[in-house]
Amino acid sequence: MAQPKGTVVLAYSGGLDTSCILVWLKEQGYDVVAYLANIGQKEDFEAARKKALALGAKKVYIEDVCREFVEEFIWPAVQANAVYEDRYLLGTALARPCIARGLVEVAQKEGARHVAHGATGKGNDQVRFELTCYALCPSIKVVAPWRLPEFYQRFPGRRELMDYAQKHGIPVPVTPQTPWSMDENLMHISYEAGILENPKNQAPPGLYTKTCDPATSPDTPDVLEIEFEKGVPVKVTNARDGAVRRSALELFVYLNDIAGKHGVGRIDIVENRFVGMKSRGIYETPAGTILYHAHLDIEAFTMDREVRKIKQGLSLKFSELVYNGFWHSPECEFLRHCIARSQQAVAGTVRLSVFKGHVSVLGRASPRSLYNEELVSMNVQGDYEPADATGFININALRLKEYHRLQSKVTAKQDE
């Protein structure tokens, strides 16, 4: 028997990997407390509880963090128009600090000096989990089995993990597993690894689970009106059937349903992991895609041009920090405060159509709009003197004239 090592709180999913890790941690001398966060994934939580207890966990915590996930993590990302490398809406990256926060809280409640997770040694999630844990509890110790030679040398492949599971009475899936890995939360689902590691391979038709095939989606669009206050959605109205959603969680779940039935939110990308390698990921982010387009529109309608330029730079850095796992860093906290301040006047309603994989903005209205219809009209002069544009153009042309005058001299000398 290994020497007793105290209590470890394991981020438990109920799947094969973390079930094997639970038993392995017990072999190493740990008392295991399992922590399972309900963050919107499809899961039989009661079955997962019974499974963890049967495998030897001394206690199981199952915590519903869906509302906190939406209000404290997704909403700041919506305010920021957060997107990594132009396409990825950060569904997994936003969920990890939310889960890790709960993990640390349980460790502190249980007096545990250790936490553990099942993230691999090649991915981003190990960084995201651990940076959050260390930020919130600097004295915590992290056990990461997939980075320990005694673990990954013992389990070099899935076959060895399955053999270990059968030997220790760990329930093994009866049906064949999909030839890729999946990770789901309320905001999105990701698919990677397995046959998807070859970036030439097209996603198989049966892969997607949150969205319908756009080609076979309904032939009638849903027209939605999304109301924002301070850059956060506060109300959704479906113009077709009059359905209304107001609370953050209900609103987000409803948008997931609407976007999902119309095939909105699918992307297939190659991205740059923080650890230094490129990876191929396929994502479905239904509600997040609708809100990204809606917020982008109302922000452009209500925000000063120069403020928006600065804010776009902040959003780019914010997205990078979130992707890399620095949610609880001082710089990310500073950016969240700055972005929130920029959203004070971002209020109003965006009307959009959701149809066959596309989100199309139809119109917008806001009491804080900076749009002046009379000023911009081609039929009304308004408080604007067209003759003033001549001087404006001349001043801006001065630099260009001087640059090209000099270039002409240099070219002439080179031709001599």
383 is catalytic: no
- Of these residues, 19, 49, 96, 336, which one is catalytic? 96
Query: H or E segment at 348?
Result: strand 348-355
Which candidate, 304, 20, 316, 29, places its Cα nearest to that of 172?
A: 20
Q: How far is CA 61 from CA 24, 110, 187, 371, in A?
A: 19, 11, 22, 51
Please answer whether residues 227 and 349 qualify as being in contact, where contact means their C-beta atoms are separated by less than 8 angstroms.
yes
Beta strand 278-284 with 189-192 is antiparallel
**Residue 83 CB partners (closer than 8 Å, separation 6+):** 89, 90, 292, 319
Catalytic residue, candidates 13, 17, 128, 364 = 17
Q: Is 125 an active-site residue?
A: yes
Task: Give the residue from 119, 79, 134 showing the smallest Cα distance to 319.
Answer: 79
- 117 vs 64: CA distance, rounded Å: 19
Q: Which of 31, 125, 222, 297 is catalytic?
A: 125
Residue 235, H or E segment: strand 232-238
DSSP state of 54: H
> Is residue 96 flagged as an active site residue?
yes
> Given 67, 113, 147, 181, which residue is catalytic?
181
Q: What is the b/e burial string over 133-166, where b = at least 16 CB atoms within 10 angstroms of the residue's CB?
A: bbbbbeebbebbbbeeeebeeebeeeeebbebbe
**Rounded to an integer, what distance in angstroms lies between the CA atom of residue 33 and that of residue 115?**
9
Tokens of 327: 């949610």
Q: Which residues of 210-243 are buried (b: 16+ CB within 10 A; e: fewer)?
A: bbbeeeebeeebbbbbbbbeebbbeebbbeeeee
Q: Enumerate the β-bridge partners of residue 350.
A: 226, 364
First to last CA, the chain: 89
* Position 169, amino acid: G
In 65-164, DSSP assigns E strands to 114-116, 141-143
User: What's the sign of the alpha-carbon dihedral 303, 304, 307, 310?
Assistant: positive
Give the count of alpha carbons within 13 A of 146, CB side only: 16
Other beta carbons within 10 angstroms of residue 408's beta carbon come to 10
List the catalytic residues: 17, 96, 125, 181
